[in-house]
Amino acid sequence: MNTIKTPSKIILFGEHAVVDGYPAISMALDLKTTGEIEENFDTISIDLVDLNEIFEITPELIKNLEISNFSPALKYVVCAVKSVIFYLSEFKNLKEIKPFKLKLYSEIPLSCGLGSSASVVVTVIRSISNFYGIELDNDETINLAYSVEKEVQGRASVTDTATISLGGMIEIVNGEYKPMPKNLEEFIKTCKFLVVNVEERTRKTAELVHDVSKHPEKEQIFEEIGKIIQNVRQVTGKAELGKLMNENHELLRKFGISTEKLDLVAKAGQKYAYGGKLTGAGGGGSAIILLKEDREELLKELKKIGVIGIYECKMAN
């Protein structure tokens, strides 16, 4: 049995500004999806263990499979299986589609802006290519995963698939991505974060992006966020990094995309840790806090606020 582990991701800085061509910083997290693959007797079998969903098909039918009839979670997986097998057959000289059994497990909370679907898709692509003994480079994996996300969702960002495929930290500008400076990555490795699933989102990403695009101070706020990211590149201390997170949160608040509960969590991060901010589109969802060693008071405060979930994590390579 082969095992593949794939990280999740979080936006550390620059959400919304990235839509207008300003940079954003994304980081892989060690909350992971695990894929276990082995040879099977006569069918391709997919088992989403956490969701108790199983799918089976004979190898000769997989390339023509219609994904629209499946549950949301299975859509991503089935589309990824179909896409990677087609790619390996057409471009990598895969002669025989041998049957396999793939089990998928995930530590990543769903619909929290942590890239759970991209993590599953990359896990499927790498598990199957490894099973057939064909190596895909990072660009091939990123492009395949991006095409799957786009097919299932109708639109997608390369940010999730690139961060999850490459690991570490990347900077995204105008849909292009590049690694962050090595000294910054080495520093971030020493940091521990708390990802807080604060509340269910009540507004869709498209609606939030539209509201931000119409804000009268948009350009000024985006320029300020751009300056924060310039400062992040030079950062060497946790207090300094936390301060920049706090500043980014305050700028996002000006757009009206934070919520009362997100603000309470960010304030708790500012009071009991080095800093905290919302992450992702806003309108509910998640926040990220840069932890100090003593986190007892912080955890008490988050319990009092009544958040959905708390996940301690660090950057994944």
CATH of the domain at 258: 3.30.70.890
144 and 192 fall within a common domain: no
pLDDT at residue number 256: 94
Task: Among 125, 147, 173, identify where a domain stops.
Answer: 173
The backbone torsions φ and ψ at residue 97, rounded to the nearest 5 degrees and listed phi first, read -90, 90
114 labeled binding residue? yes
42 and 123 fall within a common domain: yes
**Bridging pattern class, strands 100-106 and 24-39:** antiparallel
CB 274 within 8 A of CB 239: yes
149 and 243 fall within a common domain: no
275 and 196 fall within a common domain: yes
159 and 235 fall within a common domain: no
pLDDT at residue number 249: 97
185 and 156 fall within a common domain: no
pLDDT at residue number 204: 85
Distance set, CA 198 to CA 195, 284, 288, 307 (Å): 9, 7, 10, 5
**Bridging pattern class, strands 100-106 and 44-48:** parallel
What tokens appear for 255 in the block?
Answer: 């757009």
End-to-end Cα separation, the chain, in angstroms: 23
144 labeled binding residue? no
226 labeled binding residue? no
117 labeled binding residue? yes
12 and 105 fall within a common domain: yes
111 labeled binding residue? yes
217 and 300 fall within a common domain: yes
112 labeled binding residue? yes
DSSP states of the chain:
-EEEEEEEEEEEE-TTGGGGT--EEEEEEEEEEEEEEEE-SSSEEEEEGGGTEEEEE-GGGGGG--GGGS-HHHHHHHHHHHHHHHHHHHHS-------EEEEEEE-SPTTSSS-HHHHHHHHHHHHHHHHTT----HHHHHHHHHHHHHHHHS---HHHHHHHHH-SEEEEETTEEEEPPHHHHHHHTT--EEEEEEE---S-HHHHHHHHHT-TTHHHHHHHHHHHHHHHHT---HHHHHHHHHHHHHHHHHTT---HHHHHHHHHHHHHSSEEEEESS-SSEEEEEE--S--HHHHHHHHHHT-SEEEEE-B--
109 labeled binding residue? yes
CB 235 within 8 A of CB 187: yes
pLDDT at residue number 174: 87
Q: Which one of 20, 47, 160, 263 is the catalytic residue?
A: 160
Respond yes or no: is residue 47 known to be catalytic.
no
137 and 193 fall within a common domain: no
Give the domain extent around 258.
181-313
pLDDT at residue number 202: 82
pLDDT at residue number 154: 83
Q: What is the mean pLDDT of each run of 10 residues along the chain (317 residues)?
A: 96 92 94 98 96 94 90 94 97 96 94 90 98 97 96 85 96 90 95 96 87 94 95 96 98 95 98 96 94 96 97 95
Number of domains in the chain: 2
Neighbours of 68 (CB within 10 A): 6
18 and 167 fall within a common domain: yes
**Bridging pattern class, strands 100-106 and 193-199:** unpaired
Task: Among 117, 142, 173, identify where a domain stops.
Answer: 173
> Which residues are CB-contacts of 184 (< 8 A; sequence separation ≥ 6)?
169, 232, 233, 235
What tokens appear for 124 in the block?
Answer: 């499927």
pLDDT at residue number 12: 96
231 and 148 fall within a common domain: no
What tokens appear for 231 in the block?
Answer: 């400062």
186 and 165 fall within a common domain: no
Tell me the per-residue pLDDT of 149-170, one tens digit each, with 9 for 90 and over: 999 988 777 899 999 999 999 9
286 labeled binding residue? no
Task: Among 120, 154, 173, identify where a domain stops.
Answer: 173
